[in-house]
Amino acid sequence: MSEEKVYSVKVGDKEIVIEEEVLEVLREYVHTEMSLEDLSKELGLSDWREGYEFIRNVPAWILWIQPTLWKTVKSMRRASEEVSRKA
């Protein structure tokens, strides 16, 4: 039985798990004029510096993946694991 891979980014003493909601915020940040302050507020970070650290530490490919694709791949992995457990 394999464990589900979880992507997370460490910012100071916080760890932000990359999920659909976080991807929505990242997508808005990349495609609009969202400031680092607004990004920080959306992610529950204390200030723009933590937002900058978060963006700096996020792998570039995650910035461009669509939340629906992330969700689909995640559910396909779960389904595949269930099938392999039953077999």
Write the pLDDT tens digit of every residue in 39-71.
999 999 999 999 999 999 999 999 998 888 888
Tokens of 72: 């689909």
Q: Are 20 and 69 in contact (CB under 8 A)?
A: no
Q: CA dist 19 to 6, 12, 76, 85, 86, Å?
A: 9, 19, 15, 25, 28
Q: Are 8 and 19 in contact (CB under 8 A)?
A: no
pTM comes to 0.80
As to burial, measured by CB atoms within 10 angstroms (0-12 exposed, 13-18 middle, 19+ buried), residue 51 is buried
